[in-house]
Amino acid sequence: MPAPTSGSNSPTPSVSSRSLERVPLTSLRGVGPGIEKKLQNLGINNVQDLLFHLPFRYQDRTRINDIRSVRFGEHVQLQGELVASKVLFGKRRSLQCTLKDDTGFINLRFFFFTPAQQKSLQTGVRLRCYGEVRRGSAGYEIYHPEYRILSGDHGTELEDTLTPIYPSTEGLQQARLRSIIDQALARMDSLHQVNEYLPEEIRRKVAAGQSTQGNPLSMTLGDAIRFLHHPPENVTLELLESGQHPAQQRLAFEELLSHRLCMRRLRLASNSRPAAPMPARHTLVEKFSAALPFSLTGAQQRAFGEIARDMADAAPMLRLVQGDVGSGKTVVAAMAALRAVENKFQVAIMAPTEILAEQHFMNFSHWLEPLGVEVGWLSGKLTAAQRKKQLEGIGSGTTRIVVGTHALFQESVSYADLGLIIIDEQHRFGVHQRMAL
- How many whole angstroms separate alpha carbon 221 and alpha carbon 211? 18
CA distance 329 to 343: 22
Q: What secondary structure letter does DSSP report for 402?
A: E
Backbone angles phi, psi at 282, to 5 degrees: 55, 45
8 Å CB contact between 314 and 275: yes
Lowest mean pLDDT among 140-149, 239-248, 252-261, 363-372: 252-261
The residue with greater pLDDT, 409 or 35, is: 35
What band does 153 get if pLDDT is binned at 50, 70 and 90? low
Q: Is the pLDDT of residue 399 over 60?
A: yes
**Cα of 404 vs its chain's centroid, Å:** 27
Residue 267 pLDDT exceeds 90:
no
Residues found in the chain: 437
In eight-state DSSP terms, residue 429 is: -
Long-range contacts made by residues 236-244, C-beta under 8 angstroms, separation at least 24?
Answer: 237/58, 240/58, 241/57
Q: Is 198 or 250 the better-scoring residue by pLDDT?
A: 250
The backbone torsions φ and ψ at residue 18, rounded to the nearest 5 degrees and listed phi first, read -60, -35
Contacts of residue 341, defined as CB under 8 A and 6 or more positions apart, other chains included, come to: 284, 347, 373, 400, 401
pLDDT band at 426 (very low <50, low <70, confident <90, very high): low
Query: Is residue 17 pLDDT above 60, yes or no?
Result: no
328 in Cβ contact with 14 (< 8 Å)? no
Element (H, E) at 39: helix 33-41
What is the tens place of the pLDDT at every residue in 203-235?
A: 777 777 665 555 777 788 899 999 999 999 889
* Whole-number Å distance between alpha carbons of 50 and 166: 11
Annotation: CATH topology of 63-158? OB fold (Dihydrolipoamide Acetyltransferase, E2P) (2.40.50)
The pLDDT-based confidence of 374 (bands split at 50, 70, 90) is very high
| Exposure string for 118-156, b = 16+ CB within 10 A, e = fewer | eeebeeebebbbbbebeeeeeebbbeebbbeebeeeeee
Q: In the CATH hierarchy, which fold is given to the domain comprising 286-436? A: Rossmann fold (3.40.50)
Q: What is the pLDDT of residue 421?
A: 93
- Closest by CA position to 300, among listed 326, 280, 339: 326
What are the beta bridge partners of residue 421? 348
Q: Is 360 exposed, middle or buried (0-12, 13-18, 19+ CB in 10 A)?
A: buried
What CA–CA distances, in Å, run from 294 to 156, 261, 291?
77, 41, 9
- Express each pLDDT in 97-129 by its tens digit: 999 999 999 999 999 999 999 999 999 999 999
Report the chain's mean pLDDT, rounded to a whole number. Answer: 86
Asked whether the predicted pLDDT for residue 13 surpasses 70, the reply is no
Judged against a pLDDT cut of 50, whether residue 429 lies above it is answered with: no
Decide if pLDDT at 24 tops 70: yes
pLDDT over threshold 50, residue 417? yes
Domain-wise residue ranges, the chain: 18-57+167-256, 63-158, 286-436
Backbone angles phi, psi at 355, to 5 degrees: -60, -50
Identify whether the C-beta of residue 142 lies closer than 8 Å to the C-beta of residue 134. yes
Mean local confidence (pLDDT), 350-379: 92
pLDDT top residue among 225 and 425: 225
Question: Quick one: pLDDT at residue 192?
Answer: 66
Is 322 exposed, middle or buried (CB count within 10 Å of its CB: 0-12, 13-18, 19+)?
Answer: middle
| Mean local confidence (pLDDT), 379-407 | 91
Which residues lie across from 151 on neighbouring strands? 154
Three-state DSSP class for 177? Answer: helix
- pLDDT recorded at residue 211: 53
Pairwise CA distance, residues 415 & 392, whole Å: 9
Q: Quick check: 258 pLDDT over 60?
A: yes
Q: CA-CA-CA-CA torsion for 403, 407, 413, 415, nearest 10 degrees?
A: 40
- Work out the pLDDT band at 316, boundaries 50, 70, 90: confident
Does position 427 have pLDDT exceeding 60, yes or no? Answer: no
pLDDT score at 70 = 95
Give CA–CA dist 50/42, Å, rounded: 10
* pLDDT per position as a tens digit, 229-252: 999 988 988 888 888 899 999 988
If residue 79 lies in a helix (H) or strand (E), which one and from where to where? strand 75-88
Strands lying side by side in the sheet with 375-378: 375-378, 401-404, 346-350, 418-423
